[in-house]
A and B are shown apart, each in its own frame.
Chain A
Amino acid sequence: MNNHEAPTPINSKFFSKGAIVLSIFTLIGALGYLYRLIYGLGAATNLDNQFPWGIWIAIDVATGVALAAGGFTTAALADIFHRDKYHSLTRPALLTAMLGYTFVVVGLLADLGKYYNVWHPMLPSMWQGNSVLFEVGLCVTIYLTILYIEFFPIVIEKFMGHVKLPGILSKYNSLVESFLRISNRTLYRLLSLFIIAGVVLSCLHQSSLGTLMVIAPYKMHALWYTPILPLLFLLSAVTVGFPMVIFESILSSWSFKLKPEIKTLASIAKYTPILLFCYLSIKVADLAIRNAFGYLGEINIQSFYFILEMVIGVIIPMVILFQRDKRYSIKYLFLSASCIIFGILINRINVFLIAYTPLYSSSFYFPSFIEIVVTIGLMCGLVLIYRFLVIHLPVISIQRVKYKIVSKIPASKSVLEG
């Protein structure tokens, strides 16, 4: 079985054409970020007193957290439920989660008026147990720490046994070496505890992100305002977890010219349509119970976005993935995973922006140029660091067969045979 091959650093140069384009976008984003720090939120964004939250919260933070859910769902499946065949997916998923959450924090810092006070929720004297945001903040902080701890063994694996510090630092080689050895032994024993804690913390803050907007009942559009928002957020995060792993696995196989792990990916995709079906059923039941179906008949931006979210993000990928042969096609897997990710993006934008109809606004919020370039820059920066780390650290499990262009082969049979 190829699946059990050990992860290795990818042999590839960093600056491919795509990476250069990404670097340019990252640089522009960084300049936008700098602009915000120097001139303030007013100059950099289109936020005002009516619309205090924009895409930095809806996309960078809320969508970012949801898309990083691959980390905890894969860990739960492979490590807690011991579905060992998925082990090759845990490291890329872990890396995505670690970088995803790191960039959530970076994005959040741009949005905070007083970003230099971001440590305040950690002081017990400022704890505010009634605040949903406090719980989200604390959980994300602890979870991010745990993600770094979970990722540390990968760094240890790379350097243990051959630590070579440059120049004058080389006399500390043995010291660092023994530190790595001790951490390796300790982490090996404690890792399970951290993995479970990571799953629990994820469930807590993924759902609480949904509770955030429950505090604004008079501003939220009825299509999205429901007391079960936390449940919907948790379920949608769990649902997007595996598609995100599939999405990035296929992308990196294309980027690095590797053979996609089609069997593993097809196998993990079998959970997704079931989760989508559950999500769809709860959504429909929720609308029915709250008598909110009528709002779908109204022709406005809200009904359009709601239908967009449900059709592209839920129904289309569900129909595709319920068919076994489609799951074994890279093309369809990628298409449906992209749909689900797009659906999550639209859903989070919907809940935080489209559904948000403040009482006295005469206009509607649309992100500024700076807001957009920062958001794009953050995404590109994340991909670049991901690329850098998988080139240098043992993250991706390579299958030896050279990757041939599969997407052009019609249907799935040929892939199955190959």
Chain B
Amino acid sequence: MNKDRRKFLKVSTAITASLIPAVSVSSSEECEIDFNDAYGVLVDTTVCIGCRNCEKACNIENNLPEQPQGNFEDKSVFETNRRPDVSAYTVVNPSIDSKLPKYDSYAKIQCMHCNHPACVSACIVGALTKCRHGVVSWDAWKCMGCRYCLVACPFQIPAYEYEEALEPRVMKCTFCYDRIHNDKKPACVESCPVEALTFGKRGELIKLAHSKIESNPNKYYDHVYGEDEIGGTSWIYLASKEFINYDLPKLAEEKIPSLTESIQHGIFKSFLPPLALYGFLGLVMHSMRQEKKKEALDDEQS
């Protein structure tokens, strides 16, 4: 009997020990990423000519359908403000304040591959992950389609295949994961005819961005978008005016997941708070029961 019990204890301790790291891994892994060494892209909206070559290259690389308009040379799409969706991981939009017939500048929109992604923190099954290269990628097999990532994303980037009854996917920029693993640039960067997109290590891109602003302070609005926003993003932007004109929202420096994660980890600190509540309620239950018994006994005696 005693032996069995010891065995049971041993097994259960082993199980518990093997489970605890599984929970904490995701956070520690994220901390190990050196964001300066991770990949990024610098988008210089003052250089972009709105040719939509990047859109075309992206759709070909990712086997996405041809646009409804039929071709990527059509400039009439600029009349409506577009968002990335299930048929396009990236779209180019003219700045909001510029009007026809001539747009003054354009910005390419896609997943920002945040340093501290809200979607990764939100995902219930860890289908979204941030790897050390900086890529936020999505695992079709794990996903159960709750769409909490769409709720969490501050840039409103992930799109969902609502029309699919089976195996709907979360669609967003993959940062051409396979290409950059093979030391190639992302398809969009390679396709850009004017070098509005610069691919490289994030740390160096930030330096490059600042030196561009310094050497041309009249041309640039003095801010590198994505350097500090919500803890930094892999894709960073330069522009001649405020970034809100390119649908890039004004965001504080605080990482989005930090509040929910601190609430979450506060409640579950080594499982102490739930266990304490359990113990407390158990104690209450026990003492109340004793009290009732005593009352009943007193009643009988009197």
Interface residues of A (CB under 8 A from B): 37-43, 45, 47-50, 52-53, 76, 79-82, 84, 111-115, 117-118, 120-121, 124-135, 137, 192, 195-197, 199-200, 203-204, 207-208, 211-219, 227, 230, 356, 358-360
Contact = CB atoms under 8 A, between A and B. Distances in A.
B85 interface: yes
Contacts of A211: 260, 263-264
The majority secondary structure among interface residues of chain A is: helix
A299 B20 CA distance: 50
A37 B165 contact: yes
Contacts of A218: 154, 249, 251
A204 B274 contact: yes
24 contacts: A40-B168, A42-B164, A43-B163, A47-B147, A50-B156, A52-B147, A80-B288, A81-B288, A82-B285, A82-B291, A113-B146, A120-B124, A128-B126, A129-B24, A130-B264, A133-B123, A137-B124, A192-B282, A196-B278, A196-B285, A214-B259, A215-B122, A216-B151, A359-B249
Interface in B274-295: 274, 277-278, 281-282, 284-285, 288-289, 291-292
Contacts of B22: 124-125, 127
Most buried by B among A42, A195, A204: A42
Interface string B49-91: 0000000000000000000000000000000010101000000
B155 to A, nearest CB: 8
Contacts of B218: none
Contact of B162 (A41, A112, A125, A195): A41
Contact of B121 (A80, A131, A227, A356): A131
A134 B144 CA distance: 12
A40 B163 CA distance: 6
Contact of B145 (A48, A117, A199, A359): A117
Contact of B159 (A49, A117, A125, A214): A49
B221 interface: no
Interface in B101-158: 118, 120-127, 142-148, 150-152, 154-156, 158
B26 A80 contact: no
B87 to A, nearest CB: 12
Most buried by A among B167, B249, B282: B282
Contacts of B270: none
A82 B296 CA distance: 13
Contact of A76 (B152, B159, B267, B281): B281
Contact of A114 (B126, B145, B277, B291): B145
Contact of A40 (B159, B164, B256): B164
A278 to B, nearest CB: 19
A212 B146 CA distance: 12
B145 A132 contact: no
A326 B215 CA distance: 77
A356 to B, nearest CB: 8
A360 B274 CA distance: 40
A121 B23 CA distance: 12
B246 to A, nearest CB: 12
